[in-house]
Amino acid sequence: MGASMSRKHYRLEMPGRFAKSLETMLVAAALCGATFAAAHGQMANAPAVPVAHEVAGHGQGAQSGNDPWWKHAVFYEIYPRSFQDSNGDGLGDLNGITERLGYLQSLDIGAIWLTPVYPSPLVDFGYDISDYENIDPQYGTLADFDRMVAEAKTRHIRVIMDMVMNHTSDQHKWFLESASSRTNPKRDWFIWQDPKGYTADGKPIPPNNWISGFGGSAWQYDPRTKQFYYHEFYKQQPDLNWRNPEVEKAMFDTVRFWLDRGVSGFRFDAVPSLFEDQKLRDNPALGGINAQGDPILEDTYTNNLPEVHDVMRRLRAMVNHYPGDRVLIGETYLPSVQELDKWYGGSKHDELQLPMDMQVGFTNKLDASLLRQRINDAETSIDGNQPLFVFDNHDNKRSWDRYGDGVHNEAIAKVLATLLLTSRSTPLMYYGEELGMSTSVPTRKEDVKDPIGITGWPKEKGRDGERTPMQWNGEKNAGFSTASTTWLPIGVDYKTVNVRVEEGEPDSMLNWYKTLIAFRRSNPALRNGTMVMLDKNNPSVLSFVRKGVDGGPSVVVAVNCTGEPQTVSFDLRAVGKSISAKTVITDAPSLRGSSKLKDIALPPFSSWVGSIQ
């Protein structure tokens, strides 16, 4: 994916509001059972039984003390089209997910978030919804959905739906009605505007300069009713008019439909853009042209408008009526932690419980100082709310490639996993991240499925690369499907990068994740201890302590963010009279069995987790 993306909400490398704000911002041994742990002395504090056995009793999804479940659960994003095909059509489906729940349980996943599975013309692969209260036949039926939720529940796995409230499909009945005439009762459910004028040859001029995140004007002219409608994304995704209370009511009804069906929460798509400026003011130009050939604009009047917080408060109040701590997650690409805090409702804690922090996971640079600053901000500047960290999703090149240097990718990926799973945050993973899956960028335009990759080729190759099928084994189609062809090609490395192979390799990425997840669940300091940065001026090694709870042992974490060996020493008098730290998890053979807190020699890009004695 190019360095000059035009999509504003999820490609932090693109120009626009976030690119600008980024400049100003300061900017993962195996639990292959106890056998490996014991053999390598890496898991002194970890459970001495395989993860799967323990989950049956109290997995990550289970309630823990007074904490809501979502504080400790590991969340896992599934792109259903690419996870598991159960009927041999080359597309993943709900029954496929159900078949693979045992794997997710073995990883100790507490909640799965499914990207949209509602009926859709699939222009944006489900983010263009034509019926909010059903399942697209390509993915299955409502009965399949109910069965998946029920089976997940028996494995202590909760289900989170993706809810797209910013826009519908242009095939949704609401929009079809709205577009039918200027006087239709649903006309005002979408954002319709007269042309600003007409060109000399009679062509209508869009109301203002707003640009679609997917290229071109954000206004589409409808010759029938002689007005434009606004679409932040594809023209087949008209934006709803959130200033109309009927829209909020209808959308909240759909949220209730799924809550009543037993889902444990939602991830709200593009939620900061629900509102646009009422005066339709032009967005300020930042100068320059993006990959789609459009002027680069600040999104002052189309994104993160204050009105959205009233909706979030009402949404939270409604969801609070449901039992079981249903969780509201936001796709919140925001320019600063201060803006992020508003999405929690700040000290009132009355909006989303888990707006995503995109500052940490999408720094796209393994820079100890930058990561320290951002993690610290997220820990200390959000009014005691719970951070949600994420390094990967279906809209960005995989972290394997964004952070990897082409030589040390696995060690670097282990560093990221360590940060994700030892920070005081709720971790969100993306399928295949735990395997070290890489981005399979299409090499021929005719192979591209994501429309922005077709219109933007060759500068913008779209998001197919990060959406390729899950790699289960080294057999046909990596075990994803029995079809002759799959909707996207299988990653070329599937013979070696797959679940089956990695389950058998003690030092694999997969076992690194399993080990960290198991330790995170069982260790009180990692569960609830405060997080304090150490060695704060070190530009190469990021280290921190998670303070012990109720006098229990603290945990210290150090990751070498460079390709050079680094030596660190810790003075931990602030957290007790600590003189030694038993190594719990490390990918540095030289540190296995070590109990030093002084002169810890970290090989390039290595990770070390110790329990302070």
> Where in the sequence numbering do the catalytic residues fall?
269, 331
Site size toward ligand NOJ (CB under 6 A) is 11
According to the binding rule CB under 6 A, does residue 270 interact with ligand NOJ?
Answer: yes
* Least gap, CB of 551 to ligand NOJ (angstroms): 44
* Least gap, CB of 108 to ligand NOJ (angstroms): 25
* Least gap, CB of 332 to ligand NOJ (angstroms): 11
- Pick the closer one to ligand NOJ by CB: 237 or 560: 237
Residue in the block written with tokens 């990207």: 115
State the sign of the Cα–Cα–Cα–Cα dihedral 73, 74, 80, 86.
negative
Chain centroid to Cα 301, Å, comes to 25
Residues in region 536-575 near ligand NOJ by CB under 6 A: none
According to the binding rule CB under 6 A, does residue 430 interact with ligand NOJ?
Answer: no
Among 77, 136, 248, 269, binds ligand NOJ (CB under 6 A): 269
12: left (phi over 0), alpha (psi -120 to 50) or beta: alpha
From residue 303 to residue 342, the character string flagging contacts with ligand NOJ as x (rule: CB under 6 A) and all else as - is ----------------------------x-----------
CA 101, CA 562: separation in Å to the nearest integer?
37
Residue in the block written with tokens 């130009």: 285
In contact, 481 and 318? CB cutoff 8 Å: no
CA 489, CA 493: separation in Å to the nearest integer?
11
According to the binding rule CB under 6 A, does residue 124 interact with ligand NOJ?
Answer: yes
* Least gap, CB of 564 to ligand NOJ (angstroms): 37
Cβ-Cβ contacts under 8 Å for 77 (sequence gap 6 or more): 112, 113, 115, 392, 393, 394, 428, 429, 430, 431
* Least gap, CB of 124 to ligand NOJ (angstroms): 5
In contact, 85 and 140? CB cutoff 8 Å: no
CA 537, CA 534: separation in Å to the nearest integer?
9
According to the binding rule CB under 6 A, does residue 132 interact with ligand NOJ?
Answer: no
* Least gap, CB of 463 to ligand NOJ (angstroms): 7
- Pick the closer one to ligand NOJ by CB: 76 or 494: 76
Report the residue number whose CB is nearest to ligand NOJ: 127
In contact, 139 and 116? CB cutoff 8 Å: no
Q: What is the identity of the amino acid at 82?
A: S
State the sign of the Cα–Cα–Cα–Cα dihedral 250, 252, 255, 261.
negative
Among 70, 75, 127, 344, binds ligand NOJ (CB under 6 A): 127
Residues in region 193-252 near ligand NOJ by CB under 6 A: 233
**For residue 458, is the peptide bond before it cis, meaning its omega torsion is within 30 degrees of 0?**
yes
- Pick the closer one to ligand NOJ by CB: 331 or 392: 331
Angle between helical axes of 509-522 and 51-58 (0-180°, round to 10): 40
- Pick the closer one to ligand NOJ by CB: 124 or 401: 124
In contact, 505 and 484? CB cutoff 8 Å: no
Max alpha carbon distance in the chain (Å)?
81
Among 73, 157, 164, 337, binds ligand NOJ (CB under 6 A): 164
In contact, 304 and 338? CB cutoff 8 Å: no
- Pick the closer one to ligand NOJ by CB: 164 or 417: 164
In contact, 450 and 463? CB cutoff 8 Å: yes
From residue 372 to residue 411, the character string flagging contacts with ligand NOJ as x (rule: CB under 6 A) and all else as - is ----------------------xx----------------
With H, G, I as helix, E, B as strand and everything else as coil, classify residue 162. Answer: strand
* Least gap, CB of 167 to ligand NOJ (angstroms): 7
From residue 451 to residue 480, the character string flagging contacts with ligand NOJ as x (rule: CB under 6 A) and all else as - is ------------------------------
| Angle formed at CA 209 by CA 206 and CA 215, multiple of 5 degrees | 90
* Least gap, CB of 125 to ligand NOJ (angstroms): 7
According to the binding rule CB under 6 A, does residue 91 interact with ligand NOJ?
Answer: no
Per CB under 6 A, residues contacting ligand NOJ are 9-10, 124, 127, 164, 233, 269-270, 331, 394-395
